[in-house]
Structure formats: C-alpha cells, structure tokens
Amino acid sequence: MNAALLIDDVRLTPILISDPPLLNTQGVHQPYTPRLVVEVVTRGGVTGVGETYGDGTYLDLARPLAEALRGHSVTDVNGLFRLADQVCGGSPAPGAQGTDARVEADGLRGVRTADKLRLSVVSGFEVACLDALGKTLGLPVHALLGGKVRDAVDFSAYLFHRWAAHPAGGEEDDWGPALDPAGIVAQARRFADEHGFCSFKLKGGVFPPDQEIAAVRALAEAFPGRPLRLDPNGAWSVETSLYVAEQLGGVLEYLEDPAACTDRMAEIAARTTVPLATNMCVTTFPEIAAAFTRGAVQVVLSDHHYWGGLYRTRELAAVCRAFGVGLSMHSNTHLGISLAAMTHVAATVPNLDYACDSHYPWQTEDVITARHVFEGGRLAVSDAPGLGVELDRERLAALHRRWLDDDGTMRERDDAAAMRRADPAWVTPAVPRW
Ligand SMILES: O=C([O-])C(=O)C[C@H](O)[C@@H](O)C(=O)[O-]
Ligand SMILES: [Mg+2]
C-alpha cells in the first residue's frame, strides 16, 4: 500500500448557494440552497474535492463517514461503500423493516430510502477520493474510469417557468420573469446565445398542461428540428400524459416522468410511441427490473449523486445498454465540482446518447476558481489531473459563513415552504395534479 494515498483528514463544509426563483410542481426554489463540499487530504499532501446535497439528513450521514475514513486509501472505493454501510446504517435483511424501508417519497427525485440517502452522501466522498487519486497519479478522473470516449460532453438548456425575483429577498438576477410561452422562448434564446445549447428541456408541472404544450410548440417553432423535452415531475394522470404525448408527438425527443410511478409509466408507454424518460421511477438498482421488464421507460436519467458515484453510474450505464434502454443525465442545483464530476463520467460512457441536464447556468456562485464555460452547448473534457478544478477557499468560506448565519430556514431545501412566502395557503399538490 502506498502510504501517500492514505487519507489523513476529511473536511466537510456545508454551504448555502444562491438559487433563482425557479418554479416546479412542488413550489419554487428557495433563495439559497444547501450543498456540502467534501475534501479528503492524503498523507502525500494532496486534497481531493467532491460535492453533494447539503440538507441536514445528508450532513448527519456524512459526519460519521468523514470520521471513519481516516487511514483508508483513496484507491479503496469499494471499501468506502462498506465503511458507509457500517457507520451510516447498513441495509436490513431482505424483507425486514429497517433503515432501508421507504421513509418518504421525495417529490422530485423518486423514492427516498436510507440506501439512496447514504449513496448520495458516499458519492461526494467517492468523487473526492478519485480527485485526490488522479491528482496524485497525474491522471484525469476519466482515465481512472477507463478513459474518455469523447472529448466534449453535450448539455441541454434547462428551461424553467420563473419569477423575476424571490418574494422574500435573496440575490437578484437579470433574467426577468418567464410565465408564458413567449417568456420560455426568450429564455431559451438567451441560453442558446450565451451557451450555444442546441437542445432544450422545459420543467413542467407548473401550469395546466395546455399552457405547457403551447410553450413546447413555441419552442419547436423558434428552434425547428432541435431536440425538446418536457418534464412535469409526475404531475399528470395517465390520461393527461397520453393527451400531452399525442399533442406533442412529432416534437418531443422524450417525455420525462409524465406520471409518478412505474405502473403508470408502463401504462402510458404501452399506449404511446413517444419515448418516456425518468429520474423518478428508476433511481435505485432495485427499481430497475420492474421498470425495464415492463417497458415502462425508454431512457433513464443517471445522476452520480443518488446512484452512488461515478463507478456506479457506469454500472447503471451497462445495465441500460443490456436492456436497450437509453441513458441521459439528471441534474439538481449544483456547483462546478459536481459539473466536473458529471462531465468526467459522461465522457466515459459510450451509450450516453442524450445531452445531459445541468442547472449550472442558473448558478451565479461557485466554489471553484475558474467557472466552467459551455461552448456550442458542450463542455470540453478536462485532461488535467483529477477533476481539473481548484477550490476557491475565500468563496467557500463566504458561502459557509452564509450557512452558519442562517437561522435554519434555508438549510433544508423545501420548495413548498418557499412557495408559501408568496402564497401562504400553498400545499404540495397531490399527484396526479392534472
Ligand atoms: O426531474 C428533474 O429533472 C428534477 O427534478 C430536476 C430538478 O430537481 C428540478 O426539478 C428542480 O430543481 O426544480
Ligand atoms: Mg426529471
């Protein structure tokens, strides 16, 4: 064992980053959202960085893992998963009620099991270990994953209905409101002009389906032939989903999570030719068999955070390939560390057939010294050692200070609570909403 690769220290820095008032079917994004920056420091003096969700549940799992990781090698990614099982609460015996029981259905990201929460935490540590290993060896992370099969990764513009500003303060931006089809087209034009994006995803489930159909039609008219996607996060019934699929049949690249569960997705898939994509009904390995064998989804949006890191994203890709299911990539609000990790793994997956989602253009703040720049809607794959990003410690400290100063309201992402600042009567809509 090379002693230089042993982990001497792990630093966890919870931060709050500003987020615009983006609307989804649950409510609206808060002015600030929590993220966790993970740093592993090796005996050889190299620091690797990772990033994951920063809500309290994740922090509670990350702290014991950080303690336990000292003395382990950054090469031992399999050992990292075993360690997390031991110190963050392991899987119960099959069939037993335990830590892996469904604790709650998270509105936007599918089931919320203890396993999935733990994997989301481990993903930040895995990325930090790979970054440290790559920096030590002088190799980019993609080389540690088997090597890149492309030099640049395509991303799609992520369009949101949105307000001009948060009702209760927060950072301001110059995007203005987008609350109708014309507003969505204007937003798409700016994304195309500033970043060169060629495909567009509209977050739906905000307005009645006919308005969102009109927005997608307006996009199709403004950007003829460009790939378009619509994602209402499971807000529709089977019949509404079929209606939308019929209305937008000639226009959509895929329809993402029109309805909320595998059963309904299977029913819709059986009655439409529009491909269905998901980052809600297939978000864990145990969910794959039922969905794939029933033909419920044609595209899975991977996400290294909740699938458990970069190696497991590649395992997911292999399963998708075996079943002839397409692969795309999901995104939540994230910073440049995660975007670098997404890009490295995306570069190594031969069957990543669709442009990846990314919230990054909405994020005006970052903790890295040089922001990523999209050119022609693509990110060049870095060949620098590790992830190819460097922490901006001043920014990290400032965003951590914001987290420390927060009275607790922003430390948990809660889109329904944020919506209540504008509409005190708001409750998370029951599904199906339409
Ligand atoms: O289904 C999706 O693509 C997402 O849930 C992505 C994001 O979470 C998005 O919906 C959001 O943050 O409002
Ligand atoms: Mg989605």
pLDDT tens column, 60-80: 999 999 999 999 999 999 999
Q: Whose C-alpha lies nearest to ligand 1, atom 6?
A: 332
Cα dihedral sign, 345-138-374-39:
positive
Q: How far away, in angstroms, is 147 Cα from ligand 1 center? A: 29
- Omega of the bond leading into 432 within 30 degrees of 0 (cis): yes
Nearest bound ligand to the CA of residue 254: 2
- Banded model confidence at residue 369, pLDDT cuts 50, 70, 90: very high
- Banded model confidence at residue 213, pLDDT cuts 50, 70, 90: very high
3-142+392-403 CATH: 3.30.390.10
Contacts for 314 with CB less than 8 Å, ≥ 6 apart: 145, 146, 345, 348, 349
Which pair of structure tokens corresponds to residue 148?
């890149």
Pocket of ligand 1 from Cβ distances under 6 Å: 22, 24, 108-109, 203, 231, 233, 279, 330, 332-333, 357
Assign residue 408 a region (left: φ > 0; alpha: ψ between -120 and 50; beta: otherwise): left
- Banded model confidence at residue 97, pLDDT cuts 50, 70, 90: very low
Q: How far apart are the first and last CA of the chain?
A: 58
Residues of the chain with CATH 3.20.20.120: 145-380
> What CA–CA distance (Å, rounded) separates 118 from 308?
8
Average pLDDT, the chain: 95
pLDDT at 81 over 80: yes
Residues of the chain with CATH 3.30.390.10: 3-142+392-403
| Largest Cα span, the chain | 61
Whole-number Cα distances in Å, 128 to 1, 62, 117, 124, 368 = 19, 13, 18, 6, 14
Residue 110 has what pLDDT? 87
Atom number, ligand 1, closest to the C-alpha of residue 279: 1
The percent of residues in the chain predicted with pLDDT above 70, rounded, is 96
- The tens digit of pLDDT for each residue in 392-422 reads 999 999 999 999 999 999 999 999 999 999 9
- Banded model confidence at residue 106, pLDDT cuts 50, 70, 90: low
> What CA–CA distance (Å, rounded) separates 251 from 254?
9
> What CA–CA distance (Å, rounded) separates 88 from 231?
33
Query: Which string of b and e fits 181-199 if b means at least 16 CB within 10 Å?
Result: bebbbbbbebbbeebebbb
ipTM over 0.90: yes
Which pair of structure tokens corresponds to residue 72?
């382990």
Residue 365 has what pLDDT? 98
> What CA–CA distance (Å, rounded) separates 206 from 260?
15
Residue 253 pairs in a beta bridge with none
Helix (H) or strand (E) holding 309: none
- Architecture of the structural domain at 145-380: Alpha-Beta Barrel (3.20)
- The tens digit of pLDDT for each residue in 136-171 reads 999 999 999 999 999 999 999 999 999 999 998 889
Burial class of residue 71, CB neighbours in 10 A (0-12, 13-18, 19+): exposed
Q: How far away, in angstroms, is 75 Cα from ligand 1 center? A: 32
> What CA–CA distance (Å, rounded) separates 142 from 53?
23
Q: How far away, in angstroms, is 26 Cα from ligand 1 center? A: 10
- Banded model confidence at residue 319, pLDDT cuts 50, 70, 90: very high
